[in-house]
Structures are given as C-alpha cells and as structure tokens.
Amino acid sequence: MARPVELNFDFPAHFEVTVLERIDRMPEVQRVLSFPDAVRVDSQRELSAGVILAVRAAEAKPWIGIFESYAYGSPPAAPRQVFGWPDGRSLCFVGGGGGCVVRTDEPTQTFEIDCFPICDVLVVPDRQLVVFADFTALIAYGGHGVVWRSKRLALDELTILSAEDDTLHVSGFFGGSRHDSFDVDLRTGEQTGAPREFDYY
C-alpha cells in the first residue's frame, strides 16, 4: 500500500510523478536513490517506510526516489507532502519536520530546506514562492533559492493562514491565551499588525 502523501503541483512542471507501493525495478529505470542525500539504494531492496516516487523528467531518464521522513512527529510537523518548485524542474518533499528539494532532471542535485521543524508550508504560485514556517519564523524560497527570511514573528505556534496579492496572512501565540492574526509582506518578510515586534531572528 502506498504511503499517504499530499501532492501539489500548482507550478508548471516539466516532469511527472507517480506514487508507488514498492520499488519497481523497471528496465528503463537505472537509478533508485534515497533522499535527502541522493544515496543509491541496494538493488535487492523492494520496500520502504518512506514515500516512493517514480519520476519522469523531460529529456532525462526516469528514476525512483525514496523519501524518508525526518524525525519530528506530525503534528506539530506539517504532514507529508510533495509539491512542485518554482523553477519547474524540481520537486520538494516535506515530512517529519524537514524538507528537501531535488532536481528531477538530475536527482543528485539536492538541498535541504533551511527550516526545522517545518510546521506549515504554503505554495504561492502567482508570486513564484514557497513559504515555510517553524514555530516562530518564516522563510520563503523562489526558483533559485532563499528570497527572504523573517525575524521572529511570534512566541510559538506560528501558522500560515492564506496569501492574497503581496500579503501573507498568519497567526501566532503571544502569551497567556492570545493567538493573534497579522500580515507579512510576501516581497520582504516584514510583518504588520502583530501585537509584539521582535528585533531578533
């Protein structure tokens, strides 16, 4: 049975992804890799507790990826999910509090998301951004890497609510029983309307 995973391909993608129940050693598949480190998998291995994906990129040979979840529990970590990247050629896996990005046309080119634990994530197609949240701060990536990193925005429980034009709506815990909503500029990562402003990251 295939492991449960959310799929989100809102960005135009030059590749196809299929979730598999087991490692299918198809003749045309020459590489089976385990992520986040793009390590070759033993040729006898057929099963995994991770998410198994068959990936077919334009103008590249198909490959299979095994995406192991990181060690943080869900919740508060974001649920397992795979989504397209703003560059149109990469995919991102999030699970167990961590995340990694893999070039589908050259899967040895990979990097990990600089956010842990990832507690929330939002794909913003019309701004070519993916925004990640840990407990207290945000980081936004575009097709070529980090676009901005916010300062600390809350004491705890930072949550992404939605995006509208250049505004990201979020909420967070500010002490006592207070959970307040406020806005973050999607162009800069600067907040407006929070009950408290922090001067550190």
Q: Please, what are the domains in the chain?
A: 1-105 (no CATH), 119-195 (2.40.10.480)
| Per-residue pLDDT tens over the stretch 46-96 | 667 789 999 999 888 999 999 988 888 768 999 999 999 999 999 999 999
**pLDDT value, residue 48:** 72
Taking a C-beta distance cutoff of 8 angstroms, is the pair 62, 28 a contact? yes
**pLDDT value, residue 55:** 95
Please list, in sequence order, all residues whose beta carbon lies within 8 angstroms of the beta carbon of residue 13, skipping any fewer than 6 positions away. 84, 88, 89, 91
Give the whole-number percent of the chain exceeding pLDDT 90: 74
Is 125 in a helix, a strand, or coil?
helix
Taking a C-beta distance cutoff of 8 angstroms, is the pair 188, 200 a contact? no
**pLDDT value, residue 43:** 66
Give the whole-number percent of the chain exceeding pLDDT 70: 95
Taking a C-beta distance cutoff of 8 angstroms, is the pair 80, 6 a contact? yes
Bridge partners, 22 (sequence order): none
Give ∠ CA 144-192-83 in degrees, rounded to 5.
35
Kindly tell me the burial class for residue 74, based on how many C-beta atoms sit within 10 Å of its own C-beta (0-12, 13-18, 19 or more): middle
Q: What is the average per-residue pLDDT within 27-42?
A: 86
User: 33 versus 26: which is more confidently predicted?
Assistant: 33
**pLDDT value, residue 19:** 93
